[in-house]
Amino acid sequence: MIRVALAAAACTTFAFALAVALLERPVPAVDLPAAVAGTLGASGVEHPITAVLLNFRSYDTLLEIAVLLLAVVVALALHEAQPDSPDRMGLDNPLLRAVIGALVPLMLLTAGYLLWAGATRPGGAFQAGAVLAAAGVSLRLAGVALPGFEPPRLWHAGLALGLAVFLAVGTGALLAEGGFLAYPTGWAGALILAIELALTLSIGLTLLSLYRLAPPNADDPNAAVDGSARDGRHGSEPVATGRGGAASSDEDEQIGMGGDSPSRPDASAPP
Amino acid sequence: MPWLDLTLALALIVTAALALSTGDLFRAVVMFIVFGLVMALAWVRLEAPDIALAEAAIGAGLTGVLLLDTLGYLNRRFRPVEPDRNEAP
Amino acid sequence: MNGAMLFPWVGIVLCAMGLFAFIVHRHLLRRLLAFNVMGSGTFLVLVGLAQDGRGVDPVPQALVLTGIVVAVASTALALVIFRRWYRVSGHARLPEDV
């Protein structure tokens, strides 16, 4: 109870401070929309947000794709350190397969359109990459094995492609124009489209890989270690794995998902 | 249209509160997906169609799949792994 | 108060709610939900504040777009780590949480 009261007090203070900051905010000294609109003609694209993302503030996007690559490298390292049992992902449902078969080409088309539309209207590499990842996740849910993952060389190259193309274009601009990511005049549109294409592939592949690199649902390491895992049906009496103690005192392990276990609210749920 | 904005604001707060306080974890995740969809509408009202597209694809779609998949993992974790059902009669 | 100025206040409420739930809950999946709600609140403050009656400002919108993609990547990574932790320990919470 004291914990909840303290948390409530802290959050009220936090909200109050934010509200004061909102009310007392300074008037911005620089008119950013006007600055963007004034230089939009030289940016190579006609949509202001794409221009900001890939020309005026391209460092942000460069570092963003680096962060994504870092996340997937961490997931890969964990995957190496803790191998999974064979992946038998996929719901074997013919209806799902038929629907996915009709949907995936449309999703690929949408991704391509979003990428192309990014130059002139809402759209761009991020949205296209997200749709691409969604298509990959749907295929995985339907149990369709995607090619290109098994010898991991091609897969890893695809993950790094976005950052590599971005860095190559930036370095090329540095050599040609004397400024990192300062696109030469007249080339900006084509270079931005090339970067966006690579970014789309890498973002889609990164999100899909982060989904693939989690331990699969069919995975049960206990089954091989201890036969009682096959008898114990529920996590309220998990088999001791490595830490030497069964965690029967944990009250919030069980979740109710319409299964045969009664759903139990968290002991720590706020009133 | 202040009414539309007020309704959206209320829907955002209510869905977020439900997603954070519902006892059943499955319902909480579903409310979080609804919250993502309402966020996409709010972005449209804020004249940010780019963010609305990204939020609809990511916040409602991908994050929902990831969370639901993890819920399935938590539920299935300690159950026996079903062997392939093609045993000889 | 016009429509654009309403959403930063909603963002503040979401931030506070998310922080509260993040502190109070111990289940890691619930903490992840709280973290995401807090992030959405931050995005609303960022974009809503920049265009209170001054028209569309593309710079914060581009920042938030970047932020959303990074947020989903960090959520996915957190889920990977959470599943691996649950796999080796059988717990959905951290041991140092009392």
Distances (CA, A) of C28 to A2, A191, C67, C81: 21, 42, 22, 11
pLDDT at C27 over 70: yes
Q: Nearest C-alpha of chain A: how many angstroms from C36?
A: 16
Q: Note whether residue C98 is domain-resident.
A: no
What is the domain range of residue A191? Answer: 45-80+92-212
pLDDT per position in chain B (89 positions), as tens?
688 889 999 999 999 999 999 889 999 999 999 999 999 999 998 888 999 999 998 887 899 989 998 998 888 755 444 444 443 43
Distances in Å between the Cα of A194 and the Cα atoms of A162, A181, A218, C32 are 10, 13, 40, 35
Q: How many C-beta atoms surround the C-beta of residue A31 within 10 A?
A: 12
Provide the 10 A C-beta neighbour count for residue B7: 13
Identify the pLDDT of residue A3: 87
Supply φ then ψ for residue A80, to 5 degrees: -65, -40
- The answer to whether B57 contacts chain C (CB < 8 Å) is no
Q: Tokens 């970067």 belong to which residue? A: A195
User: What is d(CA C86, CA A83) in angstroms, rounded to the nearest whole number?
Assistant: 14
Give domain status of residue A173, yes or no: yes
To the nearest 10°, the Cα dihedral for B19, B24, B27, B33?
40
Q: Give the closest-approach CA distance of A169 to chain C in angstroms.
A: 20
Read off the DSSP letter of residue C39. Answer: H
Query: For chain C, what is the domain count?
Result: 1
Torsion over CA: A68, A69, A74, A78 (sign): positive
Give the C-alpha separation, C49 to A150, whole Å.
Answer: 47
**Cβ contact (<8 Å) for C88 and A219?**
no
Q: What is the CATH number of the domain that holds C10?
A: 1.10.287.3510
- B54: tokens are 């990204």
Average pLDDT estimate for C63-86: 92
The runs of H, that is alpha helices, within chain C are 3-24, 28-50, 58-89
> Are C26 and A252 within 8 A, CB to CB?
yes
Collapsing DSSP states into helix, strand and coil, what is residue C40?
Answer: helix
Cα radius of gyration rounded to whole Å, chain B: 18
Q: Is residue C95 part of a domain?
A: no
A-contacting residues of C 27-86, CB under 8 Å? Answer: 27, 30, 45, 49-50, 54-59, 61-63, 65-66, 68-70, 72-74, 76-77, 79-81, 83-84
Q: Is B1 exposed, middle or buried, given 0-12, 13-18 or 19+ CB atoms closer than 10 A?
A: exposed
DSSP states along chain A:
-HHHHHHHHHHHHHHHHHHHHHHTPPPPSS-HHHHHHHHGGGSS-S-HHHHIIIIITHHHHHHHHHHHHHHHHHHHHHHHHSPPPP-------HHHHHHHHHHHHHHHHHHHHHHHHTTTSS--HHHHHHHHHHHHHHHHHTTPPPTTSSSHHHHHHHHHHHHHHHHHHHHHHHHHHSSTT-PPTTTHHHHHHHHHHHHHHHHHHHHHHHHHTSPPTT--HHHHH-GGGGT--STTSPPP-SS----TT-SS----SSSSSPP---TT---
pLDDT at A150: 77
| d(C-alpha A242, C-alpha A238), whole Å | 12
The set of chains that have 3 or more CB pairs under 8 A with B is: A, C
Q: Is B47 in CB contact (< 8 Å) with chain A?
A: no
Please report whether residue C50 resides in a domain.
Answer: yes
Q: How far apart are CA A171 and CA C71, in angstroms?
A: 28
CA atoms within 13 A on the CB side of A96: 12
CA A94 to chain centre: 29
Asked if residue A159 is part of any domain, the answer here is: yes
Q: Are A174 and A180 in contact (CB under 8 A)?
A: yes
Sign of dihedral through CA atoms A16, A19, A23, A29? Answer: positive
- Residue B2, min C-alpha distance to chain A (Å): 20
- A11:C61 CB<8 A: no
Query: Would you say residue C9 lies in a domain?
Result: yes
How many domains, chain A? 1
What interface predicted TM-score (ipTM) does this complex get? 0.89
Amino acid occupying residue C33: L
Cβ–Cβ < 8 Å for C8, C48: yes
Range of the domain at C57: 3-89
Residues, chain B: 89
Size of interface A-C (CB pairs under 8 A): 155
Mean of pLDDT over chain A: 78
Residue A145: inside a domain, yes or no? yes
pLDDT tens for the 271 residues of chain A, in order = 888 999 999 999 999 999 999 888 887 777 888 888 888 888 888 888 888 888 888 889 999 999 999 999 999 999 888 777 666 666 677 888 888 889 999 999 999 999 999 888 888 899 999 999 999 988 888 877 787 787 888 899 999 999 999 999 989 888 888 888 888 878 888 888 899 999 999 999 999 999 888 887 766 555 444 333 333 334 433 443 433 333 333 434 444 343 333 333 444 444 3
Number of residues assigned to chain C: 98
What distances in angstroms separate CA B86 from CA B82, B89, C42, C52, C58, one per listed residue? 11, 9, 52, 64, 58
Distance CA B45, CA B41 (A): 6
Residue C56 lies in a domain: yes
